Structure 1
Amino acid sequence: MDTLLSRVVWSALTSRQHRFSRGGNLALKFDPDVSPFAASKDNSPEALAALADLMSPKDPPVYLLQADEIALPSSLKVEMTALGVLMTEQTSQPKAIPKAPIVPLQQRDIAEMVSLADLTKPGPFTKRTPELGQFYGVRLDGRLAAMAGTRLNLDGFTEISGICTHPDFRGRGLASDLSIWVASKIRKRGDTPFLHAYADNDGAIALYRKLGFEIWSEVNVAVVRRLEGSAD
Protein backbone atom coordinates (compact mmCIF):
# COMPACT_ATOMS: atom_id res chain seq x y z
CA MET A 1 0.00 0.00 0.00
CA ASP A 2 2.75 2.46 0.96
CA THR A 3 4.55 2.03 -2.35
CA LEU A 4 1.42 2.44 -4.45
CA LEU A 5 0.17 5.59 -2.74
CA SER A 6 3.55 7.27 -2.29
CA ARG A 7 3.70 7.88 -6.05
CA VAL A 8 0.06 7.54 -6.86
CA VAL A 9 0.25 9.03 -10.37
CA TRP A 10 3.06 6.65 -11.30
CA SER A 11 1.07 3.75 -9.84
CA ALA A 12 -1.98 4.65 -11.93
CA LEU A 13 0.00 5.11 -15.15
CA THR A 14 1.80 1.79 -14.72
CA SER A 15 -1.36 -0.20 -13.96
CA ARG A 16 -5.00 0.39 -14.79
CA GLN A 17 -4.55 3.69 -16.62
CA HIS A 18 -1.54 2.72 -18.69
CA ARG A 19 -3.54 3.27 -21.89
CA PHE A 20 -3.51 7.01 -21.17
CA SER A 21 0.26 7.13 -20.60
CA ARG A 22 3.02 8.76 -22.63
CA GLY A 23 6.67 8.02 -21.87
CA GLY A 24 8.85 5.07 -20.92
CA ASN A 25 10.18 2.95 -18.07
CA LEU A 26 11.50 5.85 -15.98
CA ALA A 27 8.91 8.61 -16.40
CA LEU A 28 5.33 8.86 -17.61
CA LYS A 29 2.66 11.47 -18.12
CA PHE A 30 -1.00 11.32 -18.95
CA ASP A 31 -2.13 12.22 -22.43
CA PRO A 32 -2.24 16.00 -21.83
CA ASP A 33 -5.70 16.25 -23.38
CA VAL A 34 -6.94 13.97 -20.59
CA SER A 35 -4.96 15.12 -17.56
CA PRO A 36 -1.87 17.26 -16.84
CA PHE A 37 -0.33 14.86 -14.30
CA ALA A 38 3.11 13.29 -14.73
CA ALA A 39 5.48 11.27 -12.57
CA SER A 40 8.95 9.78 -12.47
CA LYS A 41 9.61 6.29 -11.18
CA ASP A 42 11.92 7.65 -8.48
CA ASN A 43 14.30 10.55 -7.82
CA SER A 44 17.29 9.06 -9.58
CA PRO A 45 19.08 11.39 -12.04
CA GLU A 46 18.08 9.09 -14.89
CA ALA A 47 14.39 9.16 -13.98
CA LEU A 48 14.37 12.94 -13.50
CA ALA A 49 16.04 13.42 -16.88
CA ALA A 50 13.39 11.17 -18.43
CA LEU A 51 10.69 13.29 -16.77
CA ALA A 52 12.13 16.43 -18.33
CA ASP A 53 12.30 14.71 -21.71
CA LEU A 54 8.51 14.24 -21.60
CA MET A 55 8.12 18.01 -21.96
CA SER A 56 9.09 20.73 -24.39
CA PRO A 57 9.17 24.47 -23.63
CA LYS A 58 6.06 24.92 -25.79
CA ASP A 59 4.01 22.42 -23.79
CA PRO A 60 1.61 23.50 -21.05
CA PRO A 61 2.91 22.89 -17.52
CA VAL A 62 2.52 19.49 -15.89
CA TYR A 63 1.38 18.65 -12.36
CA LEU A 64 3.42 16.46 -10.02
CA LEU A 65 1.65 14.86 -7.06
CA GLN A 66 3.33 12.47 -4.64
CA ALA A 67 4.00 11.76 -1.00
CA ASP A 68 7.69 11.37 -1.78
CA GLU A 69 9.83 14.50 -1.90
CA ILE A 70 9.70 16.19 -5.30
CA ALA A 71 13.13 16.53 -6.88
CA LEU A 72 13.63 18.25 -10.23
CA PRO A 73 16.39 18.55 -12.81
CA SER A 74 17.70 22.03 -13.65
CA SER A 75 15.85 21.94 -16.98
CA LEU A 76 12.46 22.23 -15.25
CA LYS A 77 11.05 25.44 -13.82
CA VAL A 78 8.67 25.40 -10.87
CA GLU A 79 5.59 27.58 -11.34
CA MET A 80 3.75 26.59 -8.17
CA THR A 81 4.21 24.35 -5.15
CA ALA A 82 1.73 23.39 -2.46
CA LEU A 83 1.23 20.91 0.33
CA GLY A 84 -1.72 18.56 0.16
CA VAL A 85 -3.05 15.50 1.92
CA LEU A 86 -4.02 12.09 0.64
CA MET A 87 -6.96 10.66 2.58
CA THR A 88 -8.17 7.07 2.48
CA GLU A 89 -11.58 5.80 3.56
CA GLN A 90 -11.36 4.16 6.98
CA THR A 91 -15.06 3.95 7.85
CA SER A 92 -17.61 3.45 5.10
CA GLN A 93 -20.80 5.49 5.26
CA PRO A 94 -24.21 3.91 4.67
CA LYS A 95 -25.67 4.77 1.29
CA ALA A 96 -28.46 7.03 2.50
CA ILE A 97 -31.16 8.45 0.28
CA PRO A 98 -29.62 11.54 -1.36
CA LYS A 99 -31.31 14.90 -0.91
CA ALA A 100 -31.67 15.22 -4.70
CA PRO A 101 -31.52 12.61 -7.50
CA ILE A 102 -27.98 11.62 -8.50
CA VAL A 103 -27.53 10.75 -12.17
CA PRO A 104 -24.60 9.44 -14.25
CA LEU A 105 -23.12 12.20 -16.39
CA GLN A 106 -22.70 11.51 -20.09
CA GLN A 107 -20.85 12.90 -23.09
CA ARG A 108 -23.63 15.43 -23.66
CA ASP A 109 -22.91 16.89 -20.20
CA ILE A 110 -19.20 17.60 -20.83
CA ALA A 111 -19.57 21.32 -21.54
CA GLU A 112 -21.48 21.87 -18.30
CA MET A 113 -18.99 19.77 -16.34
CA VAL A 114 -16.03 21.77 -17.63
CA SER A 115 -17.87 25.02 -16.94
CA LEU A 116 -18.63 23.98 -13.36
CA ALA A 117 -15.01 22.87 -12.80
CA ASP A 118 -13.68 26.13 -14.25
CA LEU A 119 -15.91 28.06 -11.86
CA THR A 120 -15.24 26.10 -8.68
CA LYS A 121 -11.62 24.90 -9.22
CA PRO A 122 -11.78 21.36 -7.77
CA GLY A 123 -8.50 20.54 -9.52
CA PRO A 124 -7.30 20.09 -13.11
CA PHE A 125 -10.26 19.18 -15.31
CA THR A 126 -10.49 19.00 -19.10
CA LYS A 127 -13.20 17.93 -21.50
CA ARG A 128 -11.53 14.49 -21.63
CA THR A 129 -10.99 14.05 -17.88
CA PRO A 130 -14.28 12.06 -17.61
CA GLU A 131 -12.60 9.35 -19.71
CA LEU A 132 -10.64 8.45 -16.56
CA GLY A 133 -13.77 7.33 -14.69
CA GLN A 134 -17.51 7.72 -14.22
CA PHE A 135 -18.83 11.06 -13.00
CA TYR A 136 -22.17 11.68 -11.34
CA GLY A 137 -24.12 14.86 -10.91
CA VAL A 138 -27.14 16.54 -9.36
CA ARG A 139 -29.36 18.75 -11.49
CA LEU A 140 -31.47 21.46 -9.91
CA ASP A 141 -33.55 24.03 -11.76
CA GLY A 142 -32.33 22.55 -15.03
CA ARG A 143 -28.67 23.20 -14.18
CA LEU A 144 -25.72 21.04 -13.15
CA ALA A 145 -25.62 21.95 -9.47
CA ALA A 146 -22.89 19.57 -8.29
CA MET A 147 -20.74 16.67 -9.45
CA ALA A 148 -18.11 14.15 -8.39
CA GLY A 149 -16.45 11.18 -10.01
CA THR A 150 -13.32 9.06 -10.18
CA ARG A 151 -9.91 10.03 -11.55
CA LEU A 152 -6.74 8.13 -10.58
CA ASN A 153 -7.28 4.39 -10.73
CA LEU A 154 -4.64 1.91 -9.58
CA ASP A 155 -4.51 -1.62 -8.27
CA GLY A 156 -6.79 -1.74 -5.23
CA PHE A 157 -7.49 1.99 -5.01
CA THR A 158 -9.68 4.50 -6.83
CA GLU A 159 -9.64 8.26 -6.30
CA ILE A 160 -12.76 10.36 -5.78
CA SER A 161 -12.21 13.63 -7.60
CA GLY A 162 -13.87 16.62 -9.20
CA ILE A 163 -16.05 17.17 -6.13
CA CYS A 164 -17.65 20.57 -6.61
CA THR A 165 -20.90 22.46 -6.11
CA HIS A 166 -22.08 25.56 -7.91
CA PRO A 167 -22.13 28.55 -5.51
CA ASP A 168 -25.89 28.94 -6.08
CA PHE A 169 -26.52 25.51 -4.57
CA ARG A 170 -24.05 25.27 -1.69
CA GLY A 171 -25.16 24.44 1.83
CA ARG A 172 -27.49 21.63 0.77
CA GLY A 173 -25.16 18.69 1.40
CA LEU A 174 -24.80 17.85 -2.28
CA ALA A 175 -21.02 17.32 -2.11
CA SER A 176 -21.43 14.93 0.81
CA ASP A 177 -24.16 12.97 -0.97
CA LEU A 178 -22.09 12.68 -4.13
CA SER A 179 -18.93 11.67 -2.25
CA ILE A 180 -20.79 8.92 -0.39
CA TRP A 181 -22.40 7.80 -3.66
CA VAL A 182 -19.10 7.56 -5.54
CA ALA A 183 -17.35 5.88 -2.59
CA SER A 184 -20.04 3.20 -2.50
CA LYS A 185 -19.50 2.49 -6.21
CA ILE A 186 -15.75 2.16 -5.61
CA ARG A 187 -16.19 -0.21 -2.67
CA LYS A 188 -18.66 -2.30 -4.65
CA ARG A 189 -15.93 -3.21 -7.10
CA GLY A 190 -13.51 -4.07 -4.30
CA ASP A 191 -11.33 -0.95 -4.19
CA THR A 192 -10.51 1.41 -1.35
CA PRO A 193 -11.68 4.99 -2.02
CA PHE A 194 -9.17 7.79 -1.56
CA LEU A 195 -9.07 11.50 -2.29
CA HIS A 196 -6.88 14.58 -2.13
CA ALA A 197 -7.25 18.00 -0.56
CA TYR A 198 -4.93 20.93 -0.03
CA ALA A 199 -3.45 20.79 3.46
CA ASP A 200 -4.76 24.26 4.34
CA ASN A 201 -8.33 23.50 3.23
CA ASP A 202 -9.63 22.84 6.73
CA GLY A 203 -13.26 22.82 5.62
CA ALA A 204 -12.77 20.11 3.02
CA ILE A 205 -10.65 17.97 5.35
CA ALA A 206 -13.26 18.25 8.11
CA LEU A 207 -16.00 17.24 5.67
CA TYR A 208 -14.06 14.22 4.44
CA ARG A 209 -13.36 13.12 8.01
CA LYS A 210 -17.10 13.18 8.68
CA LEU A 211 -17.48 10.92 5.65
CA GLY A 212 -15.06 8.37 7.10
CA PHE A 213 -11.76 9.45 5.52
CA GLU A 214 -8.52 9.97 7.41
CA ILE A 215 -5.20 11.45 6.34
CA TRP A 216 -2.82 8.76 5.10
CA SER A 217 -0.01 11.17 4.33
CA GLU A 218 0.84 14.69 3.36
CA VAL A 219 1.59 14.98 -0.36
CA ASN A 220 3.68 17.38 -2.38
CA VAL A 221 2.24 19.24 -5.35
CA ALA A 222 4.24 21.08 -7.99
CA VAL A 223 3.38 22.63 -11.32
CA VAL A 224 6.43 22.63 -13.60
CA ARG A 225 7.40 23.38 -17.17
CA ARG A 226 10.46 22.88 -19.38
CA LEU A 227 12.85 25.81 -19.69
CA GLU A 228 13.69 27.25 -23.10
CA GLY A 229 16.99 25.99 -24.46
CA SER A 230 17.48 23.47 -21.65
CA ALA A 231 19.11 20.09 -22.07
CA ASP A 232 19.93 17.37 -19.56
Structure 2
Amino acid sequence: MSAKAGAVDDQPPLGDAAPHIEQGANAIHPLDTPIWNSLHGGWASLAQGDAQAIRLDRDHGPFAATAHGLPTEMTALAPLLPPGDELWLLGRDALAAPPPGMQVVRTAMLAQMVADRPVKIGGSGPDWQELGEADAPDMLDLALLTRPGPFRARTHRLGRFIGVREQGRLIAMAGERMRMPGFAEISGVCTHPDHRGQGLAGHLMRRIAGHMQDRGETPFLHAYASHDRTIALYRSLGFAVRAQLPMAVLSKA
Protein backbone atom coordinates (compact mmCIF):
# COMPACT_ATOMS: atom_id res chain seq x y z
CA MET A 1 0.00 0.00 0.00
CA SER A 2 1.37 3.41 -0.91
CA ALA A 3 0.87 6.26 1.54
CA LYS A 4 0.75 8.63 -1.41
CA ALA A 5 -2.30 7.05 -2.92
CA GLY A 6 -4.67 7.15 0.04
CA ALA A 7 -6.81 9.84 1.56
CA VAL A 8 -6.03 11.02 5.08
CA ASP A 9 -8.67 11.56 7.73
CA ASP A 10 -11.11 12.98 5.17
CA GLN A 11 -8.34 15.21 3.82
CA PRO A 12 -7.27 15.27 0.13
CA PRO A 13 -4.76 12.62 -1.02
CA LEU A 14 -1.34 13.26 0.51
CA GLY A 15 0.33 13.71 -2.82
CA ASP A 16 -1.98 16.64 -3.63
CA ALA A 17 -1.88 18.22 -0.19
CA ALA A 18 1.82 18.86 0.27
CA PRO A 19 3.21 20.43 -2.92
CA HIS A 20 5.75 22.46 -0.94
CA ILE A 21 7.83 19.36 -0.15
CA GLU A 22 10.64 18.75 -2.62
CA GLN A 23 11.21 15.18 -3.74
CA GLY A 24 14.88 15.79 -4.51
CA ALA A 25 17.90 16.00 -2.26
CA ASN A 26 17.36 19.55 -1.05
CA ALA A 27 14.55 20.46 1.33
CA ILE A 28 13.11 23.95 1.12
CA HIS A 29 13.35 24.53 4.86
CA PRO A 30 14.89 22.61 7.81
CA LEU A 31 11.41 22.09 9.26
CA ASP A 32 10.27 20.24 6.13
CA THR A 33 12.39 17.30 7.34
CA PRO A 34 12.29 17.78 11.13
CA ILE A 35 12.94 14.15 12.07
CA TRP A 36 16.01 13.79 9.85
CA ASN A 37 17.42 17.09 11.07
CA SER A 38 16.72 16.26 14.72
CA LEU A 39 18.44 12.89 14.35
CA HIS A 40 21.49 14.76 13.07
CA GLY A 41 21.05 17.53 15.63
CA GLY A 42 19.69 17.31 19.16
CA TRP A 43 18.98 13.57 18.90
CA ALA A 44 22.31 12.59 17.33
CA SER A 45 23.47 10.64 20.40
CA LEU A 46 20.25 8.57 20.27
CA ALA A 47 20.24 7.92 16.53
CA GLN A 48 20.47 4.44 15.03
CA GLY A 49 21.02 3.69 11.35
CA ASP A 50 23.23 4.87 8.52
CA ALA A 51 23.51 7.53 5.84
CA GLN A 52 20.38 6.22 4.08
CA ALA A 53 17.93 5.70 6.95
CA ILE A 54 17.97 6.51 10.62
CA ARG A 55 15.67 6.27 13.64
CA LEU A 56 15.45 7.45 17.22
CA ASP A 57 16.24 4.92 19.95
CA ARG A 58 12.97 3.03 20.39
CA ASP A 59 12.74 3.70 24.16
CA HIS A 60 12.73 7.43 23.39
CA GLY A 61 10.29 7.35 20.48
CA PRO A 62 9.26 5.76 17.16
CA PHE A 63 10.51 8.48 14.81
CA ALA A 64 12.52 7.64 11.69
CA ALA A 65 13.62 9.32 8.47
CA THR A 66 15.53 8.75 5.25
CA ALA A 67 17.98 11.01 3.48
CA HIS A 68 15.77 11.73 0.45
CA GLY A 69 12.76 9.41 0.55
CA LEU A 70 14.17 7.22 -2.24
CA PRO A 71 13.07 3.56 -2.58
CA THR A 72 16.51 2.21 -1.66
CA GLU A 73 16.53 4.41 1.44
CA MET A 74 13.05 3.31 2.42
CA THR A 75 14.27 -0.30 2.19
CA ALA A 76 17.06 0.63 4.62
CA LEU A 77 14.37 1.36 7.23
CA ALA A 78 13.48 -2.33 7.51
CA PRO A 79 16.33 -3.35 9.87
CA LEU A 80 15.39 -0.44 12.14
CA LEU A 81 11.88 -1.79 12.81
CA PRO A 82 11.76 -4.66 15.33
CA PRO A 83 8.63 -6.83 15.58
CA GLY A 84 5.83 -5.17 17.49
CA ASP A 85 7.20 -1.65 17.03
CA GLU A 86 6.24 1.22 14.72
CA LEU A 87 8.10 3.84 12.73
CA TRP A 88 6.58 7.31 12.43
CA LEU A 89 7.53 9.28 9.31
CA LEU A 90 6.91 12.93 8.37
CA GLY A 91 7.05 14.87 5.14
CA ARG A 92 8.42 13.30 1.98
CA ASP A 93 9.09 9.98 3.72
CA ALA A 94 5.37 9.71 4.49
CA LEU A 95 4.63 10.04 0.76
CA ALA A 96 6.93 7.20 -0.26
CA ALA A 97 5.74 3.63 -0.79
CA PRO A 98 6.64 1.35 2.14
CA PRO A 99 9.41 -1.16 1.44
CA PRO A 100 8.75 -4.90 1.15
CA GLY A 101 7.80 -6.43 4.48
CA MET A 102 6.38 -3.18 5.87
CA GLN A 103 2.93 -1.63 5.70
CA VAL A 104 1.27 1.72 6.36
CA VAL A 105 -1.06 1.34 9.34
CA ARG A 106 -2.01 4.98 9.86
CA THR A 107 -1.82 8.29 8.02
CA ALA A 108 -2.70 11.84 8.95
CA MET A 109 -2.08 15.40 7.89
CA LEU A 110 -0.33 17.61 10.44
CA ALA A 111 -0.28 21.38 10.72
CA GLN A 112 3.23 22.51 11.56
CA MET A 113 3.14 25.77 13.51
CA VAL A 114 5.93 28.15 14.53
CA ALA A 115 6.20 31.05 16.96
CA ASP A 116 8.55 33.48 15.25
CA ARG A 117 7.61 36.36 17.53
CA PRO A 118 8.21 36.63 21.29
CA VAL A 119 5.71 34.54 23.25
CA LYS A 120 4.14 36.41 26.16
CA ILE A 121 4.31 34.30 29.29
CA GLY A 122 1.60 36.35 30.99
CA GLY A 123 0.95 37.11 34.62
CA SER A 124 -0.22 34.79 37.35
CA GLY A 125 -0.80 31.15 36.64
CA PRO A 126 -0.77 27.77 38.33
CA ASP A 127 2.23 26.67 40.33
CA TRP A 128 4.41 24.53 38.11
CA GLN A 129 7.56 22.53 38.61
CA GLU A 130 10.41 21.01 36.66
CA LEU A 131 9.88 17.34 35.86
CA GLY A 132 12.68 14.79 35.91
CA GLU A 133 13.53 11.14 36.41
CA ALA A 134 11.52 10.83 39.61
CA ASP A 135 8.44 12.04 37.71
CA ALA A 136 8.90 9.70 34.74
CA PRO A 137 6.28 7.09 35.76
CA ASP A 138 3.65 9.78 36.33
CA MET A 139 4.53 11.45 33.03
CA LEU A 140 4.13 8.20 31.14
CA ASP A 141 0.82 7.45 32.87
CA LEU A 142 -0.57 10.89 31.97
CA ALA A 143 0.60 10.56 28.37
CA LEU A 144 -0.93 7.10 28.00
CA LEU A 145 -4.21 8.42 29.40
CA THR A 146 -4.43 11.54 27.23
CA ARG A 147 -2.47 10.38 24.14
CA PRO A 148 -0.77 13.66 23.12
CA GLY A 149 1.38 11.73 20.64
CA PRO A 150 4.10 9.09 20.85
CA PHE A 151 5.42 9.00 24.42
CA ARG A 152 7.63 6.19 25.66
CA ALA A 153 9.57 5.26 28.77
CA ARG A 154 12.44 7.66 28.03
CA THR A 155 10.70 10.36 26.01
CA HIS A 156 11.01 12.66 29.01
CA ARG A 157 14.78 12.67 28.48
CA LEU A 158 14.54 14.38 25.09
CA GLY A 159 14.35 17.84 26.64
CA ARG A 160 12.98 19.98 29.40
CA PHE A 161 9.54 19.10 30.81
CA ILE A 162 7.47 21.04 33.29
CA GLY A 163 4.16 20.17 34.91
CA VAL A 164 1.45 20.96 37.42
CA ARG A 165 0.58 18.72 40.34
CA GLU A 166 -2.53 18.81 42.49
CA GLN A 167 -2.51 16.91 45.76
CA GLY A 168 0.55 15.08 44.52
CA ARG A 169 -0.99 13.93 41.24
CA LEU A 170 0.45 15.13 37.93
CA ILE A 171 -2.44 16.80 36.11
CA ALA A 172 -0.74 18.67 33.26
CA MET A 173 2.61 18.82 31.50
CA ALA A 174 4.45 20.15 28.46
CA GLY A 175 7.95 19.66 27.17
CA GLU A 176 10.48 19.51 24.36
CA ARG A 177 11.02 16.85 21.71
CA MET A 178 12.56 17.49 18.26
CA ARG A 179 15.53 19.82 18.22
CA MET A 180 17.88 21.08 15.54
CA PRO A 181 20.01 24.21 15.14
CA GLY A 182 17.73 27.22 15.54
CA PHE A 183 14.52 25.27 16.24
CA ALA A 184 12.96 23.31 19.11
CA GLU A 185 9.63 21.49 19.22
CA ILE A 186 7.02 21.75 21.96
CA SER A 187 5.44 18.36 22.60
CA GLY A 188 3.94 16.12 25.25
CA VAL A 189 1.32 18.77 25.98
CA CYS A 190 -1.52 17.18 27.91
CA THR A 191 -3.98 17.77 30.74
CA HIS A 192 -5.84 15.21 32.80
CA PRO A 193 -9.51 15.06 31.67
CA ASP A 194 -10.68 16.10 35.14
CA HIS A 195 -8.73 19.37 34.95
CA ARG A 196 -9.31 20.63 31.43
CA GLY A 197 -10.67 24.10 30.78
CA GLN A 198 -8.38 25.79 33.32
CA GLY A 199 -5.74 27.02 30.88
CA LEU A 200 -3.06 24.73 32.27
CA ALA A 201 -1.72 23.56 28.91
CA GLY A 202 -1.50 27.07 27.51
CA HIS A 203 0.35 28.35 30.56
CA LEU A 204 2.90 25.54 30.43
CA MET A 205 3.37 25.96 26.68
CA ARG A 206 4.12 29.65 27.11
CA ARG A 207 6.77 28.79 29.69
CA ILE A 208 8.40 26.21 27.45
CA ALA A 209 8.25 28.46 24.38
CA GLY A 210 9.72 31.39 26.29
CA HIS A 211 12.60 29.21 27.49
CA MET A 212 13.30 28.14 23.90
CA GLN A 213 13.32 31.72 22.70
CA ASP A 214 15.67 32.67 25.53
CA ARG A 215 18.06 30.07 24.07
CA GLY A 216 17.77 31.71 20.67
CA GLU A 217 15.57 28.97 19.20
CA THR A 218 12.28 29.26 17.33
CA PRO A 219 9.55 27.13 18.93
CA PHE A 220 7.50 24.91 16.66
CA LEU A 221 4.89 22.20 17.14
CA HIS A 222 2.62 19.83 15.29
CA ALA A 223 -1.15 19.44 15.50
CA TYR A 224 -3.59 17.34 13.52
CA ALA A 225 -4.72 19.57 10.66
CA SER A 226 -8.35 18.58 11.23
CA HIS A 227 -8.34 19.70 14.90
CA ASP A 228 -9.57 23.26 14.48
CA ARG A 229 -9.97 23.96 18.20
CA THR A 230 -6.44 22.88 18.98
CA ILE A 231 -5.02 24.99 16.18
CA ALA A 232 -7.07 27.97 17.37
CA LEU A 233 -5.60 27.56 20.86
CA TYR A 234 -2.07 27.51 19.48
CA ARG A 235 -2.79 30.59 17.39
CA SER A 236 -3.89 32.40 20.54
CA LEU A 237 -0.50 31.59 22.07
CA GLY A 238 1.35 33.21 19.17
CA PHE A 239 1.87 30.28 16.79
CA ALA A 240 1.11 30.40 13.08
CA VAL A 241 0.82 27.59 10.54
CA ARG A 242 3.88 27.44 8.26
CA ALA A 243 3.15 24.16 6.46
CA GLN A 244 1.10 21.00 6.34
CA LEU A 245 3.12 17.80 6.58
CA PRO A 246 1.85 14.30 5.87
CA MET A 247 2.51 11.66 8.50
CA ALA A 248 2.62 7.90 8.06
CA VAL A 249 3.06 5.11 10.60
CA LEU A 250 4.74 1.90 9.45
CA SER A 251 4.71 -1.55 10.98
CA LYS A 252 5.81 -5.01 9.91
CA ALA A 253 3.52 -6.43 7.22
**TM-score past 0.5 threshold:** yes
2:95 corresponds to which letter in structure 1? I
- Structure 1 unpaired stretches of 5+: 228-232
Which runs of structure 2 are paired with 1:129-148 in the superposition (5 Å)? 129-148=155-174
* C-alpha distance in 2 between matches for 1:126 and 1:61: 12
* C-alpha distance in 1 between matches for 2:136 and 2:130: 12
Report the counterpart of residue 154 of structure 2 in structure 1: 128
Change (3 A) 1:53 1:127: closer
Report if the CA contact (8 A) 2:53-2:66 is conserved: yes
* C-alpha distance in 2 between matches for 1:136 and 1:5: 24
Residue from 240, 245, 253 that aligns with 1:214: 240
Which runs of structure 2 are paired with 1:69-218 in the superposition (5 Å)? 70-71=95-96, 72-218=98-244
Give the SS at the match of 1:73. coil
Report if the CA contact (8 A) 2:117-2:238 is conserved: yes
* C-alpha distance in 2 between matches for 1:108 and 1:175: 21
- Structure 2 unpaired stretches of 5+: 1-26
Pairwise CA distance, 1:41: 1.0
* C-alpha distance in 1 between matches for 2:28 and 2:174: 26
Number of equivalenced pairs: 226
User: Does 1 or 2 have the higher relative contact order (CA < 8 Å, sep 6+)?
Assistant: 1
Residue from 88, 99, 108 that aligns with 1:63: 88
Q: Runs ≥4 in structure 1, deviation > 4 angstroms? A: none
Report if the CA contact (8 A) 2:69-2:92 is conserved: no
CA deviation string 1:126-151 (max 9, x = no partner)? 12001110100011232111000000
Change (3 A) 1:223 1:68: closer
Q: Quote the RMSD (CA, aligned, Å).
A: 1.5
* C-alpha distance in 1 between matches for 2:55 and 2:78: 11
Output the TM-score relative to the length of structure 2: 0.85
Give the SS at the match of 1:164. strand
Change (3 A) 1:165 1:67: farther
CA deviation string 1:8-58 (max 9, x = no partner)? 0000001221101000001100000111111111122221121223224x2
Change (3 A) 1:69 1:120: closer
* Larger mean Cα displacement after TM superposition, 98-107 or 198-207: 98-107
* C-alpha distance in 1 between matches for 2:171 and 2:81: 36
* C-alpha distance in 1 between matches for 2:197 and 2:167: 16
* C-alpha distance in 2 between matches for 1:34 and 1:104: 19
Change (3 A) 1:121 1:69: closer
* C-alpha distance in 1 between matches for 2:200 and 2:137: 20
Output the TM-score relative to the length of structure 1: 0.92
* C-alpha distance in 2 between matches for 1:141 and 1:67: 45
- The percent identity for this pair of structures is 40
Pairwise CA distance, 1:7: 1.0
Pairwise CA distance, 1:80: 0.7
Q: 1:43 and 2:69 equivalent?
A: yes
Of Structure 1 and Structure 2, the greater strand share is in 1
* C-alpha distance in 2 between matches for 1:162 and 1:126: 11
* C-alpha distance in 1 between matches for 2:182 and 2:101: 35
